């Protein structure tokens, strides 16, 4: 049994429309949700960038049972004490319904502070400091810290009764193994079968605990050419592997380097098909690989037709379950 959830892409959909979409997703049979946390989109064609934390409060209130997660990068654009406060407030209002995935970030979002964009090893070290600060604050400790981030006598006065999960975000085996040291679970994005097996295996072999979550990019439309054109228009800037995806710092740069990307290249990172049974088979393959939760990101800007089609024709072909309460202890 696998959790199948809806991924809300703030880079592509205005927050009000995205709120309607996540309510509709719950009604259509999706049992979980998550969202991105961007300051800028990946392409000027995507054209949006709503503030995730404002939206999460509204989305949790507007839905009945669906748990939510967010992928966040503390350390530069966000001070870890502020991230801890945001996590603590949402988890205290909606116990068992919120988790956060933490990653080292991308320059496209973080450069706005004017600070230097660090090397990957420095970003990882900074993230680990942030994780330790966030955990200590959520436990109720007063925290002072001097390192790659600085904290002076911080304390959370509003905290949840149980600490929500802090999940590691990884796109490589090396990062997955490193996340096993501190994370309550792991999230990655769709990739070839061998790559996904390697990431999941690296996390588990290093002692990683908690659920494995996969964010799947897909494009569906009633017509095959329409599905392909939609994916090419909206997601061709996302075919670039690290370090390009980490280090390019504006939507315009992503558009420039993606000018000659083909539909075939996009299809390596986006599941493109008008055939709903084919989409169901892809999703079942991910469950068979051992992923406990699969979060569906339809890369089109319009979400309702996708939600209706997948709710009526795809989810019934799968063994859909509800996630366990989102607490760090439950994930261990």
**pLDDT tens per residue, range 119-142:** 999 999 999 999 999 999 999 999
pTM listed for this prediction: 0.94
Residue 241: band (very low, low, confident or very high) from pLDDT cuts 50, 70, 90: confident
Q: For 99, how many CA atoms within 13 A lie in the half-sphere containing its CB?
A: 30
**pLDDT tens per residue, range 149-167:** 999 999 999 999 999 999 9
Residue 222: name the closest of 278, 305, 300, 302 by CA.
Answer: 305
Structure tokens at 54: 């404002």
Q: Please state, in angstroms and as integers, the Cα–Cα distance from residue 59 to each residue in 15, 45, 88, following that order.
A: 10, 25, 16
Q: CA 232 to CA 228: how far, in whole Å?
A: 6
Residue 260: band (very low, low, confident or very high) from pLDDT cuts 50, 70, 90: very high
Residue 4: name the closest of 314, 330, 320 by CA.
Answer: 320
CA dihedral of residues 87, 72, 212, 186 (deg, nearest 10): -100
Structure tokens at 59: 């989305």
**pLDDT tens per residue, range 174-202:** 999 999 999 999 999 999 999 999 999 99
- Residues near 161 by Cβ (< 8 Å), separated by ≥ 6? 92, 95
For 71-192, where are the alpha helices, taking DSSP H only?
80-93, 107-110, 120-138, 173-179
């Amino acid at each position: 049994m696998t959790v199948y959830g809806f991924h809300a892409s703030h880079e592509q959909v205005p927050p009000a429309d995205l709120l309607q979409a996540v309510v509709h997703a719950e009604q259509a049979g999706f049992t979980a949700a998550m969202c991105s946390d961007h300051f800028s989109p990946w392409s000027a064609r995507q054209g949006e960038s709503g503030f995730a934390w404002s939206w999460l409060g509204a989305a949790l209130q507007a839905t009945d049972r669906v748990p939510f997660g967010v992928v966040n990068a503390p350390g530069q654009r966000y001070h870890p004490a502020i991230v801890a406060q945001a996590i603590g407030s949402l988890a205290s209002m909606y116990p068992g319904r919120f988790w956060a995935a933490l990653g080292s970030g991308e320059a496209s979002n973080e450069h706005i502070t004017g600070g230097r964009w660090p090397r990957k090893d420095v970003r990882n070290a900074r993230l680990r400091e942030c994780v330790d600060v966030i955990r200590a604050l959520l436990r109720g400790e007063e925290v002072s810290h001097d390192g790659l981030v600085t904290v002076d006598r911080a304390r959370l006065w509003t905290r949840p009764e149980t600490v929500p999960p802090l999940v590691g975000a990884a796109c490589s085996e090396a990062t997955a193994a490193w996340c096993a040291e501190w994370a309550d679970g792991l999230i990655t994005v769709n990739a070839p079968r061998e790559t996904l097996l390697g990431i999941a295996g690296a996390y588990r072999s290093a002692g990683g605990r908690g659920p494995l979550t996969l964010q799947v990019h897909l494009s569906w439309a009633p017509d095959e050419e329409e599905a392909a054109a939609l994916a090419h228009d909206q997601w061709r800037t996302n075919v670039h592997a690290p370090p390009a995806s980490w280090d390019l710092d504006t939507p315009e740069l992503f558009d420039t380097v993606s000018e000659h990307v083909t539909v075939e290249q996009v299809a390596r990172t986006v599941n493109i098909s008008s055939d709903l049974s084919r989409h169901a088979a892809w999703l079942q393959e991910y469950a068979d690989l051992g992923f406990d939760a699969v979060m569906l990101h339809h890369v089109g800007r319009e979400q309702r037709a996708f939600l209706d089609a997948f709710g009526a024709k795809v989810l019934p072909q799968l063994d859909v379950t509800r996630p366990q309460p989102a607490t760090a202890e439950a994930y261990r």
